[in-house]
């Protein structure tokens, strides 16, 4: 499929898919807690209602940051589904999150401040694993481009089982679900009021919701990437992962931020780095020539200008100097 078409489909369909997923989330969570739960389309009703509410702020400029958060969240997914460079996608994702955090700082309320700090800690927790995921994918497919990774014939998850597990762990953080709903929680047991979103209301809060929908679709798209060579399996696993995250959300209590940070880094180190280690040992033949190839690059400096290999170093150098001048 043409990347541009994919991009447009993403831009149009992602909020819808994301909203429905959020609806499912609430429904499934409710059932897990023996409740009836709201209708599937409840998230849309919420957002529509938020848009009609008054926009109350603490600091006049706080909402602009959120607007850019939404913009960049959409941009991130757009890059991903448009098949751009995976590292670039990660950077855009980070940038979006930074705007969100800065908005909360700008609001200058203690609760949003703590939420922002914790969100930052969470970012610090998941960032290494996400980078390692991209690197792992590169090592298998030899390309950072999402398009190339998606069309790679091997089932990536077979080569990257550790990285897949680590990525699942970071997804828990990224979805802001228990046990990692440190910065803002959708459960009622929240000692930080509403954490990072405390001081946002009305249309701005709706923007945050929509940004999350876009983000969630993008993240599940990344899960799909692990199974891209078998599309049906990929979609199934992505949905399964989503249900799994909901299950974890309902089963676990919230962790302390210290534990969250340490465990996430440990997972990145053990599963992520371990996987990369094994990969580079397995593919020792293609990987190690990278070093000699690099050194070979410099050899022409000496041998290219002086054909006689037996030339003395001094002569060798003299000629190089002469040529350079």
**What number of other Cβ atoms are within 10 A of residue 298's Cβ?**
9
CB of 27 or CB of 254, closer to another protein = 254
Q: Rounded to whole angstroms, how far apart are CA atoms 223 and 245?
A: 13
Among 7, 47, 50, 79, binds another protein (CB under 8 A): 79
25 binds another protein (CB under 8 A): no
121 binds another protein (CB under 8 A): yes
Q: Helices in 82-145 by DSSP H: which ranges?
A: 86-107, 110-141
Among 132, 173, 223, 245, binds another protein (CB under 8 A): 132
CB of 17 to another protein, least distance (A): 24
Among 262, 266, 270, 284, binds another protein (CB under 8 A): 262
193 binds another protein (CB under 8 A): yes
Which of the residues 82 through 101 are near another protein (CB under 8 A)?
84-85, 87-88, 91-92, 94-95, 98, 101
252 binds another protein (CB under 8 A): no
280 binds another protein (CB under 8 A): yes
CA 147, 92, 131, 171 dihedral sign is: negative
Q: Rounded to whole angstroms, how far apart are CA atoms 122 and 127?
A: 8
Please answer whether residues 227 and 237 qualify as being in contact, where contact means their C-beta atoms are separated by less than 8 angstroms: yes
Please answer whether residues 69 and 99 qualify as being in contact, where contact means their C-beta atoms are separated by less than 8 angstroms: yes
CB of 111 to another protein, least distance (A): 6
Q: Rounded to whole angstroms, how far apart are CA atoms 283 and 65?
A: 45
Report the DSSP beta bridge partners of residue 145.
85
Residues contacting another protein: total by CB under 8 A: 90
What SS3 state is found at 274? Answer: helix
What SS3 state is found at 145? Answer: strand
Please answer whether residues 45 and 194 qualify as being in contact, where contact means their C-beta atoms are separated by less than 8 angstroms: no
Among 13, 61, 151, 270, binds another protein (CB under 8 A): 61
56 binds another protein (CB under 8 A): yes
Among 20, 28, 102, 233, binds another protein (CB under 8 A): 102
What SS3 state is found at 288? Answer: coil
CB of 174 to another protein, least distance (A): 14
Report the DSSP beta bridge partners of residue 85.
145
Among 110, 154, 158, 187, binds another protein (CB under 8 A): 110
What SS3 state is found at 161? Answer: helix
Among 9, 58, 240, 270, binds another protein (CB under 8 A): 58
CB of 22 or CB of 96, closer to another protein = 96
The interface region with another protein, picked from 30-38, 150-158, 168-176, 286-294 by CB under 8 A, is 286-294
151 binds another protein (CB under 8 A): no
């Amino acid at each position: 499929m043409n990347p541009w078409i994919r991009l447009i489909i993403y831009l149009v369909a992602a909020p819808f898919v994301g909203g429905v997923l959020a609806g499912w989330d609430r429904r499934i969570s409710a059932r897990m807690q023996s409740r009836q739960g709201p209708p599937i389309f409840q998230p849309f009703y919420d957002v529509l209602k938020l848009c009609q509410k008054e926009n109350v702020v603490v600091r006049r400029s706080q909402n602009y940051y959120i607007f850019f958060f939404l913009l960049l969240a959409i941009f991130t997914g757009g890059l991903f589904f448009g098949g751009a460079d995976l590292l670039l996608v990660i950077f855009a994702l980070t940038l979006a999150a930074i705007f969100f955090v800065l908005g909360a700082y700008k609001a200058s309320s203690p609760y949003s401040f703590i939420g922002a700090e914790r969100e930052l800690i969470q970012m610090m927790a998941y960032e290494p694993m996400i980078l390692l995921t991209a690197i792992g994918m590169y090592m298998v497919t030899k390309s950072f481009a999402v398009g190339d990774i998606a069309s790679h014939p091997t089932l990536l998850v077979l080569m990257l089982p550790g990285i897949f597990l680590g990525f699942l762990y970071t997804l828990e953080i990224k979805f802001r679900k228990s046990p990692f709903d440190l910065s803002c929680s959708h459960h009622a047991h929240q000692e930080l009021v509403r954490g990072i979103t405390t001081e946002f209301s009305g249309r701005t809060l709706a923007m945050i919701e929509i940004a999350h929908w876009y983000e969630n679709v993008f993240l599940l798209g990344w899960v799909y990437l692990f199974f891209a060579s078998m599309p049906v399996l990929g979609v199934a696993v992505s949905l399964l992962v989503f249900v799994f995250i909901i299950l974890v959300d309902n089963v676990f209590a919230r962790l302390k931020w210290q534990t969250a940070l340490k465990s996430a880094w440990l997972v990145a180190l053990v599963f992520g780095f371990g996987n990369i280690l094994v990969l580079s040992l397995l593919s020792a033949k293609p990987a190690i020539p990278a070093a000699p190839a690099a050194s070979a690059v410099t050899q022409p400096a000496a041998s290219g200008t002086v054909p006689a290999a037996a030339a003395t170093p001094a002569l060798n150098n003299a000629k190089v100097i002469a040529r350079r001048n």
